[in-house]
Copies of this chain bind each other. A is one copy, B any other.
């Protein structure tokens, strides 16, 4: 079973000497929330305050957040907080009354998309957005087949869990779901875009051979749970063409890559010069306020709109739209996309330099403020998830927050709030250097 996200989870059976207050809170938590709620780190952290790229524990220690992309414009950004507070004190109703906020927000957001994607549907979570995208795609195509990458994560509803192989063997994929290998760098020997297209075409043929009509290819455009892969601009285009040629839709899942994180574009798919049929949005959209959605080509929605009704009690409320609008304002005014580009380049170079010094640091991938760094065995370069877990915990002790991901759990996932500066990047690099020194000398 793949358990990428959980490689660093707190394990009561092997927990060291925890602060008694932390132990007690963990015990109370387990009593009411139970097992499904895992905690990060051998020694879980209890934060009480956040600001910008920093989180503070009860003792007042500050931790550099190099991992969280939900508080994308910075923890507790005052402009978002103020927008939410102001709107919440004024009006908060559902979408069956007229409201200008949702119209203004949709108009503004859709301007950031290719002309084709001119309709917006709002949900509360990324899972709901992908679930809705599946319903729309299946209605539009009259097919059910979905193609995903081998360790994809798209969310947690019944239907979306069935297209999320990273949830592990205990959560079986749907009978009409096919996985394809995630794109990767073949060191110049093969073209990743061509290989990916060929794999998608094979999956289409396999679905057809089972009498299943293909409905969609869905990809996280930064391939986060597959271990992070940006690839060269344009490489996704042939696969998108292939699914369309087969009558299916191309769905870009921008829950991870979206809202400027990749530095050069607002959305990951834009790097590839393609215009998806459906684009799903989430995480950073409200800087922590639950808002997510689907941008769509109008024609793709027609059938669904005529047949199915969609009403989501909380989605598209004035407060959700105020949060969303404030996030767009801050990204623009603070030039966070440009910052992601500049600081991302600096950080990537820094990790590349480190990887030259530590044979255990392998390939450095990604773009902007979304990077992945492989932890490998120095002997045979095979994935080293235990080392990744040790590094993550070692960095936590040095008050740097990070996690590991990928099918083997050996990929350091670096994805800080966007106001991350070169100074923050240097702190992360220096701490990684020290941690690697400590780990590679002590464990050999």
Q: Which residues of B contact A306 (CB under 8 A)?
A: 35
Minimum CB–CB distance for A345 against chain B, Å: 28
The CA-CA distance from A128 to B161 in the complex, in Å, is 12
Q: From A87-95, A191-199, A202-210, give the one contacting chain B.
A: A87-95
Residues of B within 8 A of A302 (CB): 35
Known A-B contacts A46-B100, A288-B88; the reply to A36 vs B305 at CB < 8 A is: yes
Interface residues of A in 309-352 (CB under 8 A from B): 309-317, 319-320
Scan residues 28-77 of chain A and give those whose CB is less than 8 A from a CB of chain B: 28-29, 31-40, 44-50, 55, 68, 70-71, 75-76
Residue interface bits A123-162, CB-to-B below 8 A is 1, else 0 = 0111110011011000000000000000000001111010
When chains A and B are docked, how far (Å) is the Cα of A94 from the Cα of B284?
13
Q: A50-B91, A128-B128, A288-B88 are in contact. Are A34 and B298 (CB under 8 A)?
A: yes
Whether, in the assembled complex, A428 has its beta carbon less than 8 Å from a beta carbon of chain B, the answer is: no
Instruction: Please tell me which one of the listed residues B110, B120, B158, B308 contacts residue A170 in the complex, with CB atoms under 8 A apart.
Output: B308
Are the CB atoms of B25 and A103 closer together than 8 Å? yes
User: Is A273's beta carbon under 8 Å from chain B?
Assistant: no
Contacts of A88 in B (CB 8 A): 76, 80-81, 84-85, 288-289
Q: Are B92 and A76 neighbours in the complex by a CB distance under 8 Å?
A: yes
**CB pair B309 A100 closer than 8 Å:** no
Copies in the complex: 2
Q: List B contacts of A45 (CB < 8 A).
A: 97-98
Cα distance, A80 to B302, chains bound together (Å): 39
User: Complex: how many Å from CA A264 to CA B171?
Assistant: 41
Pick from B26, B106, B170: contact of A307, CB under 8 Å: B170
Residues in B neighbouring A126, C-beta threshold 8 A: 313
A168–B310 Cα distance when bound, in Å, is 12
Asked if A282 lies at the interface with its beta carbon under 8 angstroms from chain B, I say: yes
Distance, CA A45 to CA B93, complexed state (A): 12
A366 within 8 A of B: no
Contact at B121–A29, with CB atoms within 8 Å? Answer: no
**In the assembly, what is the distance between CA of A49 and CA of B101, in Å?**
12
Using known A-B contacts A89-B76, A119-B32, determine if residue A6 contacts B309 with beta carbons closer than 8 Å. Answer: yes
- Flag if B307 contacts A171 (CB, 8 Å): yes
In the bound assembly, the distance between CA atoms of A288 and B95 in angstroms comes to 12
CA gap between A126 and B290 in the complex, in Å = 14
Are A310 and B156 closer than 8 Å at their CB atoms? yes
A100: contacting residue among B25, B38, B85, B170, CB under 8 A: B25
Q: Which of chain B's residues has its CB closest to A303's CB?
A: B170
User: CB < 8 Å: which of B29, B91, B118, B119 contacts A102?
Assistant: B29
Looking at the assembled complex, report how far the CB atom of A17 sits from the nearest CB atom of chain B, in whole angstroms. Answer: 16
Residue A301 lies at the interface, judged by CB distance under 8 Å to chain B? yes
For residue A395, CB closer than 8 A to chain B, the reply is no
Complex Cα gap A110–B99 (Å): 36
A167 and B282 contact, Cβ closer than 8 Å, known pairs A91-B50, A302-B35: no
| A256–B71 alpha-carbon span in the complex (Å) | 32
Chain B residues with CB below 8 A from A358, complex form: none
Whether B96 and A39, one on each chain, are in contact in the complex, defined by CB atoms closer than 8 angstroms, is: yes
A270 within 8 A of B: no
* CB<8 Å pairs between A and B, sample of 23: A28-B103, A36-B309, A37-B95, A39-B98, A46-B98, A47-B97, A48-B90, A49-B90, A50-B91, A76-B90, A76-B92, A78-B89, A81-B89, A85-B88, A124-B314, A128-B156, A132-B156, A157-B158, A158-B159, A171-B307, A283-B313, A290-B290, A290-B314
The 8 A-B pairs of least Cβ separation, nearest first, read A35-B305, A158-B159, A85-B85, A170-B307, A32-B106, A46-B98, A290-B314, A92-B288
Given contacts A84-B88, A170-B307, 16 further A-B contacts (CB under 8 A): A25-B98, A36-B305, A37-B121, A38-B309, A44-B97, A45-B97, A46-B99, A47-B99, A49-B91, A76-B89, A78-B89, A81-B85, A156-B312, A168-B309, A283-B313, A290-B290
